[in-house]
């Protein structure tokens, strides 16, 4: 069988990726203007639709927000939320996964049976044992910013016992597990889409039912190609989209 050929990412994803890198390295800071659609068209030689899609992708992921009469600017860390790549970058740079002033509370930690979706994400059979950790992340003003649930392969209950504790793991669970297994965090994938909050979701975030949220799924991989952590999250989305969402939500761009 011939080796699998890797195809380059679509142009809009390449552009969005370069801007994300400029943000994560600090070249673009919170409040800075990001290149306009016209600038992206000129600098990358792409059509208006491609440039608009690149910026829409960054807005959907929370990296930038529109400001009327100004353009799009970089959001703060709190506004952006804690997508997998943000948490990995922060862990590597500072040894912590949350920005100054923010914190998380672990409300549940234990072993359960994998649902079909969780099993598929971790490469297991439905019903297989998995470690489950549930948390709420709070902004510096004490308001909930996100609620998430992370899952890990069941054998880690013995190999990485801190996963069963409701104490925070400062460097991040993925970094803790990678260290235990003597592996490196190699890659990640985030999926985000806007949705109207259900009553249960609104309750977790202190919102009103129907308020706009971002529903996310993320995978963090090690250098052996295995999933170290699979997560499902909800994040307050009004900083990226204004008002409430009616009807069926459209899928946001995926990284």
125 and 71 fall within a common domain: no
Residue 145 lies in a domain: yes
Residue 213 lies in a domain: yes
Which structural domain, as residue segments, surrounds residue 86?
A: 82-236
Model-level pTM? Answer: 0.60
Please report, for the domain that includes residue 56, its CATH number: 1.10.10.10
37 and 125 fall within a common domain: no
pLDDT tens, position by position, for the chain (255 residues)?
444 444 567 888 889 889 988 887 889 988 899 999 999 999 999 999 999 888 887 876 667 888 888 889 988 765 554 455 565 565 556 555 555 566 789 999 999 999 999 999 898 999 999 999 999 988 878 888 889 999 999 999 999 999 999 998 888 898 899 999 999 887 777 777 778 889 999 999 988 898 888 888 888 888 888 889 999 999 875 433 322 222 222 223 323
Final residue of a structural domain among 40, 75, 110: 75
- Tally of domains within the chain: 2
Q: 198 with 209: CB under 8 angstroms?
A: yes
Instruction: Please write the tens of the pLDDT for every residue from 197-244.
Output: 899 999 999 888 988 888 888 888 888 888 899 999 998 754 333 222
71 and 87 fall within a common domain: no
Please report, for the domain that includes residue 224, its CATH number: 3.40.1410.10
103 and 155 fall within a common domain: yes
166 and 218 fall within a common domain: yes
Given 3-state DSSP classes, what are the helix, strand and coil percentages for the chain, each rounded to the nearest 5?
A: 30, 30, 40
108 and 217 fall within a common domain: yes
Residue 113 lies in a domain: yes
Residue 228 lies in a domain: yes
Residue 166 lies in a domain: yes
150 and 216 fall within a common domain: yes
18 and 135 fall within a common domain: no
97 and 220 fall within a common domain: yes
Residue 157 lies in a domain: yes
Final residue of a structural domain among 59, 75, 91: 75
229 and 165 fall within a common domain: yes
Instruction: Please write the tens of the pLDDT for every residue from 166-188.
Output: 998 888 898 899 999 999 887 77
43 and 150 fall within a common domain: no
221 and 98 fall within a common domain: yes
Residue 243 lies in a domain: no
Q: How high is the pLDDT of residue 90?
A: 58
**Residue 252 burial (CB < 10 Å; 0-12/13-18/19+)?**
buried
DSSP per-residue letters across 30-73: TTPBPPPHHHHHHHHT--HHHHHHHHHHHHHTTSEEEETTTEEE
């Amino acid at each position: 069988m011939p080796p699998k050929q890797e195809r380059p990412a679509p142009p809009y994803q390449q552009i969005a990726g370069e801007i994300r890198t400029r943000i994560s390295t600090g070249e673009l800071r919170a409040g800075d203007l990001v290149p306009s659609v016209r600038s992206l068209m000129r600098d990358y030689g792409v059509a208006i639709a491609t440039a608009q899609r690149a910026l829409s992708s960054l807005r959907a992921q929370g990296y930038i927000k529109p400001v009327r009469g100004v353009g799009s600017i970089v959001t703060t860390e709190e506004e952006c939320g804690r997508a997998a790549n943000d948490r990995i970058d922060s862990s590597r740079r500072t040894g912590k996964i949350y920005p100054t002033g923010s914190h998380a509370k672990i409300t549940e930690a234990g072993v359960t049976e994998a649902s079909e979706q969780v099993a598929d994400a971790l490469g297991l059979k439905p019903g297989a044992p998995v470690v489950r950790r549930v948390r709420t992340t709070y902004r510096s003003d004490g308001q909930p910013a996100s609620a998430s649930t992370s899952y890990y392969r069941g054998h880690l209950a013995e190999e990485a016992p801190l996963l069963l504790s409701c104490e925070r793991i400062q460097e991040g669970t993925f970094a803790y597990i990678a260290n235990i297994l003597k592996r490196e965090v190699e890659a990640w994938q985030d999926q985000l889409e806007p949705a109207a909050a259900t009553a249960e979701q609104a309750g977790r975030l202190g919102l009103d039912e129907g308020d706009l949220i971002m529903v996310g799924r993320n995978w963090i991989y090690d250098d052996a190609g295995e999933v170290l952590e699979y997560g499902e999250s909800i994040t307050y989305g009004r900083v990226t989209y204004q008002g409430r969402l009616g009807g069926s939500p459209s899928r946001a761009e995926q990284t």
